[in-house]
Amino acid sequence: MSTLPAFANEPVLELRRAPVRAQLQDAMDALSPKLPLRVPVMIGSGERTGAELLSTDPGEPGRVVAVSTRATEDDVAAAVQEAERGLRTWRALPAAKRASALIRAAAWLRERRLEVAALEVRECAKPWPEADGDVCEAIDFLEYYARSAIELDAGPDLLQVPGERNDMHYAPRGVAAVISPWNFPLAIPCGMTSAALVTGNAVVLKPAEQSPGCAHVLVRALRAGGVPASAISLVAGEGDVGAALVAHPSVHTIAFTGSLPVGLEITAAAGTVAPGQNHIKRVVSELGGKNCVIVDSDADLDDAVPAIVSSAFVYAGQKCSAAARVLVHDAIADQLIERVAGAARVLVVGQADELATDVPPVIERSAQERVNRYAALAREQGRIVARVEAVPDRGWFCPPTVAIELPRDSPVLNEEIFGPLLAIDRVRDVEDACDIVDGLPYALTGGLFARDPATVRYVRQRTPVGNLYVNRGITGAMVGRQPFGGNRLSGTGSKAGGPDYLRQFVEPHVVTENTMRHGLVV
């Protein structure tokens, strides 16, 4: 396994070429007759089939994409028990063996790339380029963590002196519960799950109730790659299933990506030590954001405007990294507002399966209602400078909106909206902008458009965000290139797709052996 070639990101489709685009329709045609998919509860080699949970196409809510079994509390208990059993053999394998299972899972996905992307288009209304990017990212996580695990397994070099041998290595923590969101329906569960697995943990995966179909694909990929069934179980369901999993005393690690309130509940619940529980649970969490883009007076608006608009509106603003707020220097604010508003007005709102679509529907009715509430508040407290009212009449569409002149304490400026609503705020200067960013509870991503190297240095040094992007869009972190994750209330600061991510799933062990025997070094 030491012969693995160096990691390289899986290339996304070159959709600017017509023959490549033509393949997409074929993939969709191949998927359509298979819908709705059936997603059972998968515990070890057992499957329980039910039909309680329907995931539907957000752009066509009448279309059922997957019919899933809703896991019960008994299922959760059985899954954890199975994981404890599976753990024994799985953790005993050499790291390289586990890594090769990930590599094979990546190959399995690669062979089905377009069909899996088509499923994301349907189940989560991910537009094609985003869906393809998500599948590529899942492949990247598998390939990257496989390599990281082999490196980690070698252990660090310790100081050695005559007469003793010091060895440090990393052991798996135990059973990991993975609770994943729907917005990157393959990549995020894949990243968390494969990181736990490759370091020797066994996983129970509870995917978002909106995207069990995609999670099912992931479990099939991992098992096809050679991860034993006992090491990866799937329990679809809603919040109660996740809560039961978090509370289970045999769970060691909880990897969660989702909203702040749920993340805090998990952290609190995980802090309770049940009778007979001999470990402290570790929570790895990736939570919300209120991501700001700072635009200084010397910014190139030709670059800034398209980058801001795409960061805010691609996938209808439903990325944790999406731009929510622009902090623009007074000197160029009028110009920037006019151009961002004009660029937002030409956004095409439409179905995810159409390549011309810029803004697809949001995930579900409650999300649509939430975004509309914030938009109404923005209208009340400030001024709307762009709103694309022409949206399809079926589906959970939200008009992309740009708001300005909001009071600084407005919820629109401070709370995570997770939808196609962008607020622009004037600032005196970059220092003022940094103060605002510093005052927010979140610290996930941030952007800066500025050309003076001194300004870049200043913002770098002051910003609390986990990922700062300078003179480019603020979404689209790539595995191995932009390790991703937030600070403060945005998460525990673990960096997915980065060199230290796997450490969240292991515990260090040090063994020191006396090698002196009767004065002889043996």
Partner 1 sequence: MTDPHPDPDDDQLERSIRQIGADLASAFPSSARHPLRSLDARAMDFASADQELKAALFRFVDVTPACRSLDDLARHLREFLREVPEAPPPLAAAMRIADVKAARPAVGAAAAAGVRHMAHRFIIGETPASALGVLSDLWHHGVASSVDLLGEATVTQPEADRYAARCDEALRELARAEAGWPSRDVLERDSIGAIPRTNVSVKISALTPLLRPDAPELGRRDAAERLRPLLRRADALGAHIHIDMESLDSREAVFDLVLDVFSEEEFARGPSAGMVLQAYLRDSPEQLERILAWAAESGRTPPLTVRLVKGAYWDHELVQATQHGWPAPVFEVKAECDRNFEALTRRLLEARPAVRIAVASHNLRSVAHAIAYNRMIGGEDRDLELQVLRGLGDQLQDALASRGFRVRTYCPVGDLVAGMAYLVRRLLENTSNESFLHEQARGTSLDVLLAAP
> With 0-12 CB in 10 A as exposed, 13-18 as middle and 19+ as buried, what is 276?
exposed
Q: How far is the CB of 356 from partner 1 (least distance, A)?
A: 4
If the CB atoms of residues 307 and 327 are measured against partner 1, the closer one turns out to be: 307
Strand blocks (E) in 140-201 = 164-172, 175-179
If the CB atoms of residues 240 and 298 are measured against partner 1, the closer one turns out to be: 298
Q: How far is the CB of 53 from partner 1 (least distance, A)?
A: 33
Give me Rg for the CA atoms of the chain: 24
If the CB atoms of residues 14 and 409 are measured against partner 1, the closer one turns out to be: 14
Catalytic residue among 320, 364, 398, 434: 320
Q: How far is the CB of 303 from partner 1 (least distance, A)?
A: 8
For 3, which DSSP code? T
> With 0-12 CB in 10 A as exposed, 13-18 as middle and 19+ as buried, what is 279?
middle
Longest C-alpha distance within the chain, in Å?
87
Backbone phi, then psi, for 178, in 5-degree steps? -110, 120
DSSP assignment string, 293-319: EEE-TT--HHHHHHHHHHHHHGGGG-S
Which residues are CB-contacts of 26 (< 8 A; sequence separation ≥ 6)?
Answer: 114
Catalytic residue among 10, 286, 364, 416: 286
If the CB atoms of residues 259 and 297 are measured against partner 1, the closer one turns out to be: 297
CA 13 – CA 167 distance, rounded (Å): 45
Query: What is the rounded end-to-end Cα distance, in angstroms, of the chain?
Result: 32
Q: Which of 72, 170, 198 is nearest to 503 (CA)?
A: 170
If the CB atoms of residues 118 and 299 are measured against partner 1, the closer one turns out to be: 299
CA 194 – CA 146 distance, rounded (Å): 8
CA 192 – CA 189 distance, rounded (Å): 5
Q: How far is the CB of 107 from partner 1 (least distance, A)?
A: 17
**Which stretches of the chain bind partner 1, using CB under 8 A?**
8-12, 14-18, 21, 128-129, 297-302, 305-306, 309, 331, 338-339, 341-343, 345-346, 348, 354-356, 358, 451-454
CA 84 – CA 201 distance, rounded (Å): 9
* 3-class SS string, 183-194: CCCCHHHHHHHH
Q: How far is the CB of 183 from partner 1 (least distance, A)?
A: 20
If the CB atoms of residues 36 and 350 are measured against partner 1, the closer one turns out to be: 350
Q: How far is the CB of 390 from partner 1 (least distance, A)?
A: 14
If the CB atoms of residues 342 and 441 are measured against partner 1, the closer one turns out to be: 342
Mark whether 136 is an active-site residue: no
If the CB atoms of residues 20 and 268 are measured against partner 1, the closer one turns out to be: 20
Q: How far is the CB of 348 from partner 1 (least distance, A)?
A: 7
Mark whether 320 is an active-site residue: yes
Give the other-Cβ count within 10 Å of 1's Cβ: 16
Q: Which residues on neighbouring strands pair with residue 253, listed in sequence order?
A: 176, 282
SS3 118: helix
* Amino acid in position 413: L
Q: How far is the CB of 292 from partner 1 (least distance, A)?
A: 21
CA 176 – CA 505 distance, rounded (Å): 8
Residues designated catalytic = 286, 320
